[in-house]
Amino acid sequence: MIDLSNFNSIIGIDQEHMQVTVGAGIRLFDLNRELESHGLALPNLGDIDRQSLAGAISTGTHGTGINYHSISQAVIGLKIVTGDGGILECSPTENQNIFEAARVSLGALGVIIEVTLQCVPAFRLRAIEQTTSINNVLELFEDAIGTADHTEFFWFPHTEIGTLKINSKTNDSPSYRSPYKAFLSDEVIANGGFELINRYAKFFPQRAQKILENQISTERRISYVASSHKVFCSARRVRFIEMEYAVPLECLFEAFQKVREATNQLDHPITFPIEVRVLGADEIPLSPAYGRKSGYIAVHVYRGSPTEPYFQIVENIMRTYDGRPHWGKVHTRTSQELSDLYPEWNKFQLVLEELDPDGHFSTPYLDRVLRN
């Protein structure tokens, strides 16, 4: 109901300290481009760049890397419109409690209109993507968590195949990628072909599964160098429904194996890969990575396909590992359960009570996860 798309420009840049203040409605792809033109970048990003900055930080949007954090961690100042129409400036030195809570706040505390970000010098990444057996991927991934800047993997359900992605900082020059080949691989195969297979799978799930297996079964390795945001983010044009959980890092492999076993027993084949990432601990009260190094497990189904019993089974597994759901993705948890998972839950509740006692900003979702 509130459109911040015109709050989309750079308001101020402190080049010396690499701090940038922007309108909170700016889309990440515009932000990344603007930062790059000033020799700056965000240290870590998620899979896509279509979100608004405010939407991304409000839900704890994250990428991967055990020595890195969610986008919210880069926030060092905020301007927020509260329920009584007042405007509050918040930072570690001004309205500190509000600042900490507001960095992941689901829109519950008010409308964030400006954000100040701590950036880093613009950098390039070398991306290495390797498709091989899932057991091989698991071994390589475990090693890469501690040695590579950013690593994640995908497992293709009902197969023994996985893809490992490792992105490491480099001073190498960007590598040339033929526009035709890039279009063929990113648009025609990754998006167009995948969309067609998913449509087909709605009517012929077992046959679609075979086609998918053939598509991915070849051992494949690609490597390229590009600006960080071009490596972190890609186009995701096939619509899907997703659930993602953060579990303590030490439980990640066990939790993944449980998901793997459960997925293999489903009657209806799952056509979307499961994505596994890692993240460093932070101290933002409602961040799913609060106080613990985390492993993230994300499951997806094609839009319009039933999420059950798949999501319910996975969610039950996540419960047993004190999993915290991604705030911007599907889950069924309630405030009663969530309050036990977040040590600083009450700190957030105090700020909520102070800023929006009458629930001006509440929604049925917020009532379920924060208020009841």
For binding to ligand FAD (CB under 6 A), which residues are involved? 4, 24, 46-48, 51-52, 54-56, 58-59, 61-62, 106-107, 111-112, 236, 326, 328
Residue carrying the six token digits 């101020």: 12
Residue 99 beta carbon to ligand FAD: minimum distance, rounded to whole angstroms: 14
For residues 103 and 126, which CB has a smaller minimum distance to ligand FAD in the complex?
A: 103
Residue 58 beta carbon to ligand FAD: minimum distance, rounded to whole angstroms: 3
- Which tokens go with 66? 């055990």
When CB distances to ligand FAD are compared, the closest residue is 55
Distance CA 287, CA 85 (A): 26
From residue 260, how far is each of 160, 216, 227, 332 by CA, in Å?
A: 10, 18, 34, 21
Backbone φ, ψ for residue 107 (5° rounding): 80, 0
Question: Quick one: three-class SS letters along 160-208?
Answer: CEEEEEEEEEECCCCCCCCHHHHHHHHHHHHHHHHHHHHHHHHHCHHHH
Residue 235 beta carbon to ligand FAD: minimum distance, rounded to whole angstroms: 9
For residues 107 and 157, which CB has a smaller minimum distance to ligand FAD in the complex?
A: 107
Residue 172 beta carbon to ligand FAD: minimum distance, rounded to whole angstroms: 25
Residue pair 351/334 in contact (Cβ under 8 Å)? The answer is no
Residue 54 beta carbon to ligand FAD: minimum distance, rounded to whole angstroms: 3
For residues 226 and 241, which CB has a smaller minimum distance to ligand FAD in the complex?
A: 241
Backbone φ, ψ for residue 99 (5° rounding): -55, -50
DSSP label at residue 24: T
For residues 114 and 315, which CB has a smaller minimum distance to ligand FAD in the complex?
A: 114
Residue pair 323/313 in contact (Cβ under 8 Å)? The answer is no
For residues 112 and 276, which CB has a smaller minimum distance to ligand FAD in the complex?
A: 112
Residue 300 beta carbon to ligand FAD: minimum distance, rounded to whole angstroms: 9
For residues 18 and 68, which CB has a smaller minimum distance to ligand FAD in the complex?
A: 68
Residue 331 beta carbon to ligand FAD: minimum distance, rounded to whole angstroms: 12
- The continuous run of DSSP H or E covering 243 comes out as strand 240-248
For residues 140 and 369, which CB has a smaller minimum distance to ligand FAD in the complex?
A: 369
Backbone φ, ψ for residue 182 (5° rounding): -65, -40
Closest C-alpha to 20, from 135, 118, 141: 118
